[in-house]
Structure 1
Amino acid sequence: MRQDIINLTDAPTRPVAIPIGEILPWLAFAGTLALLFLYFIGAEQGATALLSGQYVHETVHDGRHLLGFPCH
């Protein structure tokens, strides 16, 4: 290996700071997706259902038990 190509004495670089203004929209988007996910796992059944029938409930049935939602 040629040592003149790789300089091993350089100090490690520091990470670049990302402004909060660039992170905030992505954080809001991720939070909205998380709330939508929890709605479909926890509340999508009965009178509060967006979709008719028990399709969503039966699709995520085991996930509901894993997350501690009562469904029986």
Structure 2
Amino acid sequence: MTRLDPARLPVQVASVVEETVDLFKAQVPPGVSVTLRIDAPDAVVLGDPNLDLRGALIDNLTQRTRRRMGLS
């Protein structure tokens, strides 16, 4: 039997990614379409469920998108 660290619990990746992409879509310019494809909808990772990674993910997505669009 494996004992889990109380700070690291199973976190469903798809739900975090979906929420993050929804927030990200609100920041993209009009005319830009964002499509999400999740190939592993049941994927789970061990993490701190109280740690809000959405902000860091949105910053990363925004920076990468701006670079690809030549906006930064």
What is the TM-score normalised by the length of structure 2?
Answer: 0.31
Identify the structure with bigger relative contact order (alpha carbons < 8 Å, sequence gap 6+): 2
Larger Rg: 1
What is the TM-score normalised by the length of structure 1?
Answer: 0.31
